[in-house]
Amino acid sequence: MKAIEVNGVTKQFGALKVLKDINLTVEKGEIFTLLGENGAGKSTLINILATLSAQDCGTVKILGLDPIKQGNQVRPLIALNAQDTTFDAEFSGLDNLKLIAKLRGIQNIPAAIDRVSRQLDLTEFLARKVKTYSGGMRRRLDLAMSLLGDAQVIFLDEPTTGVDPKNRLALWQMIEAIRDAGKTVFLTTQYLDEADALSDHIGFIRDGVIVKYGTPAEIKQRVTATYTITVDEQQVQLAQQLLNEAHIAFTNTNARFNLHADVAAKAMSLMLDHHINVLHYDRDEADLESVFLAINDQENNHAND
């Protein structure tokens, strides 16, 4: 059984189509990241998955259950951590945690609160009113409120937005710890480095469409695979001449020739046939930022065509 299955989901608000035929699956025990800019449809999808909203078309399953028809069975299995922190700032952190624990029907409330407050490094602040907390502490408290109980699928909607780098790193570690505890994390973010560092799988969403889906490595490979051929410095001019004559596009810095994956093998054999001394033949590692830019370029080109 998959943790999350989304098939052909669409959602429209008035004339605005926010989600267009979304398909994705999330395995149990993995971190799936939905990556996209503001307004791409991330929160709309998370609201559907978290039983807050119904899709117009398509099907959704959470651990095999329909969030709309079987919402009462789904809700004990999920936890939602929304973009905005939602607590009573005039109450203490402990009061806020107690409220959620009571609502979740947790039997041993002190033990459950002790566990999450240790996990999120909140223990010493629990007695203080939340209005005295820093931004990072507030975010950790909000996450602690979501982690109370025994939810199996945790939805984290941009949990690190507006969080300073130190707390962001701490939140990353906590998200990984959730996954390591066997739970499934559905994360949305605008941060490429976050998706790259945490995700088992990533879906790029743009204008309500998932334009790329895969592991971080697969996505990097598919979108921007380039190769670098390094030749003997004495033979740079000859190599340039050969590539130009063969109409192979390249860029080069001194003896390093950068080529697209489609033509890299042809360029390599051409050089070897002409006895050019190839010192290195390397596949370049792309970062997600370049993937993101490439996807945007591709989509913009499609739009212009």
Partner 1 sequence: MQTIKQLNALTARIVRQNLTNADTIITVIAMPMFMLLFFVYVLGGNIATAGGAGSATTYLRYALPGFLLLTMAMGSAYTSLRINNDRTSGFLNRLHSLPIPRWVILGSHVLASLIFMLLAELAVFVVGLIMGYRVHATIGSVLLFVGLSMLFGLAITLLAIPFSLKADNYASAGGFSYVLLMLLFVSSALMPTKGMAKAVQIFADHQPMTPIVNTARKLLDHSVSLSHNTSIIAGIWLVAGILIFAVLSYRVYAKMYLTK
User: Contact positions toward partner 1, by CB under 8 A?
Assistant: 47, 50-54, 67-69, 71-72, 75-76, 78-80, 82-84, 86-88, 90-91, 99-100, 102-105, 145, 155
Closest listed residue to residue 75, CA positions, set 97, 96, 105, 95 = 105
User: Shortest approach of partner 1 to residue 278 CB, angstroms?
Assistant: 58
* Contact (CB, 8 A) for 281 and 287: no
User: Shortest approach of partner 1 to residue 82 CB, angstroms?
Assistant: 5
Instruction: Give dist(CA 211, CA 191) in Å, integer.
Output: 17
User: Shortest approach of partner 1 to residue 159 CB, angstroms?
Assistant: 13
CB-CB neighbours of 246 under 10 Å: 11
Instruction: Give dist(CA 224, CA 51) in Å, integer.
Output: 37
User: Shortest approach of partner 1 to residue 44 CB, angstroms?
Assistant: 13
* Contact (CB, 8 A) for 202 and 209: no
User: Shortest approach of partner 1 to residue 99 CB, angstroms?
Assistant: 6
Instruction: Give dist(CA 19, CA 87) in Å, integer.
Output: 29
Q: Which is nearer to partner 1, 187 or 229 (CB)?
A: 187
Q: How far is CA 30 from CA 23, 182, 201, 206, in A?
A: 17, 8, 8, 22
Question: Tell me, what DSSP letter sits at residue 287?
Answer: P
Two tokens at 124? 């010493």
User: Shortest approach of partner 1 to residue 52 CB, angstroms?
Assistant: 5
Identify the three-state secondary structure at position 24. Answer: strand
User: Shortest approach of partner 1 to residue 190 CB, angstroms?
Assistant: 18
Q: Which is nearer to partner 1, 34 or 100 (CB)?
A: 100
Q: Which is nearer to partner 1, 90 or 273 (CB)?
A: 90
Q: Which is nearer to partner 1, 31 or 50 (CB)?
A: 50
Two tokens at 284? 């370049």
Q: Which is nearer to partner 1, 47 or 199 (CB)?
A: 47
**233 burial level (CB within 10 Å; 0-12, 13-18, 19+):** exposed
Q: Which is nearer to partner 1, 14 or 105 (CB)?
A: 105
Q: Which is nearer to partner 1, 69 or 280 (CB)?
A: 69
Helices vs. strands in the chain: H and E counts, helices first: 11, 13
